[in-house]
Amino acid sequence: MKHFALALFSLVLTSACVSTPTQPSAKSFSAQGWGATNCQEMMDDLASADKDSIQSLNKHMYEAWLSGFISGVNYADMTVYDIAGDMGPEEVLSLLKSYCGKHPETAIPLAMKTLFQDWMASGKSIKESP
């Protein structure tokens, strides 16, 4: 009886594993630093940024994160020299804020991915290798 129960348990466990479809994970990357948040949190961090406020420091931190993120994309994608083209971090942050205003729950890296795809499709901002 003990062997029968063990065999039955093994059969049920095996069939459950085989019949359960593998779902892709919702998050297939790891974001680090200031950009490891969603649009709403970033917008809250940047609200009312004036010259001497903590939000001004937050703005610089997000710009620094964006610079690193863009550099990482440029390094990882050998078909692109500079995905941001002639835009500096201030301009990229401005575009990101505009996108985030419409998509507050989107993770910052996924928002940037959407912006990158738009930039590549339009061909406007990609800088070619010198």
The reported pLDDT for the residue numbered 39 is: 94
Return the DSSP state at 27. Answer: -
Cα separations in angstroms, 112 against 34, 50, 79, 95, 97: 13, 25, 18, 9, 10
How far apart CA 103 and CA 82 sit, in angstroms, is 25
Within 10 angstroms of residue 66's Cβ, the number of other Cβ atoms is 22
95-128 pLDDT per residue, tens: 999 999 999 999 999 999 999 888 888 876 667 7
Q: From the centroid of its chain, how far is CA 94?
A: 16
Residue 3 confidence (pLDDT) above 70:
no
56-97 pLDDT per residue, tens: 888 889 999 999 999 998 898 888 788 888 889 999 999 999
The reported pLDDT for the residue numbered 50 is: 61
